[in-house]
Amino acid sequence: MRRAAFLGALAVAALLAAPASAQSLADAWKIIEGKRFVDLTHTFGVGTPVWAGFGPAAMSAASDPKTHEPYTIAKDGFRSTFYSMVGQYGTHIDPPAHFAEGGATMDKIPVKQMILPLVVFDATPLLGADPNHAWSVADIEAWEKANGQVPSGAFAALRTDMSKDWDANPERFKRQPFPAWSLAAVKFLVEQRGVTAIGHEALDTDTTDKMESETWLLQAGHWQIEVMANLDQVPATGALIVVAWPKVENGLGFPARAFAILP
């Protein structure tokens, strides 16, 4: 894995070091197309776990507003679905405006922030002794001793393997408390390491119901992805994350699609 990561990084470095005239998106694609892609997004439906304050989604066949008859392929040549759900549903984005008056809404987040270097912190070795462990600055520093400093501009994801309960045990997935971030760790990543965004597997950022970490992050102008999947398939460093969401005017959150490109 380390040799593959090194060769992948070397290839990217060679591309970046080449004269501008020699660089092309075709060159970049030749590197990317041979890589492994990992979906970091859960499938969601009407039975998806969700915060009790929001409640489940409803999905039904879209209907003709004049006749109220559902559209069908047999009758109309097409079909469509009417969705009714809160924005913070399934794997989703929380933009700054979710918690911050005057914060950026999801349509204002630059598209350049939708592809970022990805680092993954693995909290699972700590959960046997502390099932609701709050990822700390000391944990980050220990991780950096093994993997190098978190790069500026990165997306930092916290692996807890909670995502394995998403389908297998939804009630356990919704448990409170659960392993997540400490406020000190989030502040450190933003202020000392310059990360662009964070992500995690749980429905919320914090191990407690005070929402201190989430409030601080969003009010500081950063965004996050909640309810991530398959972080156990992504290495600690060397991958890229690609994440996108609908461009809803003044949007305060929406289901997102995220995936990793492995080194």
- 62 in the same domain as 143: no
pLDDT at 17: 52
Contacts of 240 (CB under 8 A, 6+ apart): 115, 116, 117, 118, 260, 261
CA distance 199 to 158: 6
Whether residue 166 sits in one domain with residue 192: yes
Phi/psi for 41 (5° steps) reads -120, 135
Number of Cα atoms under 13 Å in the Cβ half of residue 240: 17
- Tell me the mean pLDDT in the region 236-254: 98
**Which band of pLDDT confidence, cut at 50, 70 and 90, is reported for residue 90?**
very high
Contacts of 71 by beta carbon, 8 Å cutoff, 6+ apart: 61, 62, 63, 64, 78, 79, 80
> Are the beta carbons of 227 and 203 closer than 8 angstroms?
yes
Tell whether 80 and 190 lie within a shared domain.
Answer: no
Q: By mean pLDDT, which of 7-21, 155-169, 205-219 is the weakest? A: 7-21
- pLDDT of 65 reads 97
The whole domain housing 12 covers 2-32
What is the value of pTM for the model shown? Answer: 0.90
Residues 28 and 130 in one domain: no
Provide φ and ψ at 259, rounded to 5°. Answer: -150, 155
Q: Are residues 6 and 101 in the same domain?
A: no
Per the DSSP assignment, residues forming a β-bridge with 152 are none
Nearest to 44 by CA among 259, 257, 251, 260: 257
Is 153 in the same domain as 249?
yes
pLDDT average, residue stretch 149-178 = 96
* Digit-coded pLDDT (tens) for 5-41: 444 544 554 544 555 556 899 999 999 999 999 999 9
pLDDT in tens, 122-158: 999 999 999 999 999 999 999 999 999 999 999 999 9
Q: What is the pLDDT of residue 11?
A: 52
Query: Do 98 and 213 fall within a single domain?
Result: yes
Total domains in the chain come to: 3
Please indicate, yes or no, whether residues 110 and 66 belong to a single structural domain of this protein.
Answer: no
pLDDT-derived band at 4 (thresholds 50, 70, 90) equals very low
- Given CA atoms 183, 188, 190, 191 in this order, what sign does their dihedral have? positive
Residue 159, token pair as written in the block? 């692996």
The average pLDDT across 176-180 equals 96
User: Are residues 239 and 223 both part of a single domain?
Assistant: yes
DSSP 227: S
Query: Is 130 found in the same domain as 250?
Result: yes
